[in-house]
Chains A and B, each alone.
Chain A
Amino acid sequence: MTHVSSVQPPRVAVWLLDLFTPYEQTESIPGDLLEEFSDIASKSGVAYARRWYWRQSVRTILHVVRSGFRVAPWSIAGAVVGGVLLVRLGHAFTEGGIRTWNEFLSHHVHRLSHFDLFLMNSGMYLWRLTVSMLIGCIIALACKSREMLATLTVSLVCSIQAVTGFWTFLHGTDYETLRKALLPVLLYSFGGLFAIVIGGGIVRTHRFRSLRPAKS
């Protein structure tokens, strides 16, 4: 019995559940699942209990997402519209800035340092990822308790544009260029989408950690 009670549920499932659970249920939902997990592990074995925990977590997350859209449709819609505009503006400004900086370097600086060369080659990707993550953080800050739902929706809406752009690239490029540029283009098109969700996850995790000690 001591052995079973020391068994922990799958960490990734617990982490995902913590990301999506509304604040008012951060005590009850994970607590209920942990209680049942320990009980099932002692009766049916740890492997079965882990599968049960995964199944419950995924179904619970789907329910939380669905009820989030039902309970607060306007705040989610507002966050998505604002978020998509922020993404577009943020990318347009930073990419314009990086291009201007690269042109300045190539015209006025004769001996470029390694750092300058690194920025000229990878600056655009890094900026895009950083700006996307910051935008994810802003969206999450505006959507208390529904950070992941808002950032995931913004990311999904923006993915339509990313998929269209990638499709155009695939059809308008010869094989040799495609082979060389596929990975950078994939990173450029879809990396930002993940960064938005990661930004949401950072804010959510920070909020969740600051909330837990106060209650327990």
Chain B
Amino acid sequence: MSSHEYLGEFEHIVVLALLRLRDRAYGVTVRREIEVRIGREVSIGAIYATLGRLETKGYVNSYLGDPTPERGGRSKRFFRVTAKGVAAVNRTHRALRSMTEGLRLARRYSQ
């Protein structure tokens, strides 16, 4: 895996949601956070597919909580961003900042 790899668009959004939610980050809260903040309804399958990819890359790790009755006796899978994941977010932000620096996006695309 390249050390200069950037996060994809949805990966970026999911990692930022995990960072916001801290120790409350699992499928339901991540989905709601994305829906509330950017108004995009995403499926729980899309969230888990992305989290699985991020976990394979070593950007997040996960652990199972206790089973709860409102979930039909199933456990929550909580996710945490690793140091490598935080580095990837910073790298992606730096790259985006460099690319947008000097561009007058608001004026150019509002015409």
Contacts and interface: CB of A to CB of B under 8 A. Distances in A.
Given A5-B70, A28-B27, A216-B67, A63 B75 contact: no
Interface stretch (A54-62, A94-102, A174-182): A54-62
Interface string A5-24: 10000000000000000000
B77 interface: yes
Nearest to A38: B70
A174 to B, nearest CB: 49
The residue among A62, A63, A71, A216 with the most chain B CB atoms within 10 A of its own CB is A63
Contacts of B77: 25, 27-28
Interface residues of B, number: 23
Contacts, number: 75
B44 A60 contact: yes
A59 B73 contact: no
Contact of B45 (A35, A59, A71): A59
Which of B49, B53, B74 has the most A CB atoms < 10 Å from its CB? B74
Contacts of B39: none
Contacts of A27: 64, 67, 74-75, 77
Interface in A25-48: 25, 27-36, 38
A56 B35 CA distance: 14
B44 A33 contact: yes
Nearest to B30: A32
6 contacts: A28-B74, A29-B44, A33-B44, A56-B43, A56-B44, A59-B45
